[in-house]
């Protein structure tokens, strides 16, 4: 199902990275749609030409070692100019 220019304007289609698909397309081709989302594309899902959902990638989580968190917390609680205990150097 194609969308005319007025419909694209009504649902906020910008022509950039945002793709519009129907509910039926999502149901019939969900694996491909999710691959596209995982690769960074944002997809708007419509039902009867009305946007009902937006599928977008979730940013990857960053691993921060426990030692880095402990050191950052220790540095915040220590008054300026005071040296760390020898076991933390």
**Structure confidence by residue, pLDDT tens digits, 12-66:** 444 455 899 999 999 999 999 999 999 999 999 999 999 999 999 998 888 888 8
* Beta strand extents in the chain (DSSP E only): 18-22, 42-47, 50-55
pLDDT grade, residue 88 (50/70/90)?
low
What secondary structure letter does DSSP report for 15? S
Sequence ranges of the domains in the chain: 1-81
Who wins on pLDDT, 39 or 4? 39
Supply the pTM of this predicted model: 0.53
Q: What is the pLDDT of residue 81?
A: 59
Q: Contact at 8 Å (CB) between 56 and 36?
A: no
The predicted pLDDT at position 18 comes to 87
| Mean pLDDT along residues 85-89 | 58
Distance CA 26, CA 80 (A): 57
For the domain covering 1-81, report its CATH number.
3.40.1620.10
């Amino acid at each position: 199902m194609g969308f005319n220019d007025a419909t694209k304007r009504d649902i906020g289609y910008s022509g950039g990275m945002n793709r519009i698909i129907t509910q039926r397309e999502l149901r019939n081709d969900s694996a491909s749609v999710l691959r596209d989302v995982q690769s960074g594309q944002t997809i708007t899902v419509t039902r009867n030409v009305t946007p009902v959902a937006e599928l977008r990638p979730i940013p990857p989580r960053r691993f921060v070692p426990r030692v880095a968190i402990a050191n950052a917390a220790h540095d915040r609680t220590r008054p300026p100019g005071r040296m760390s205990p020898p076991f933390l150097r």
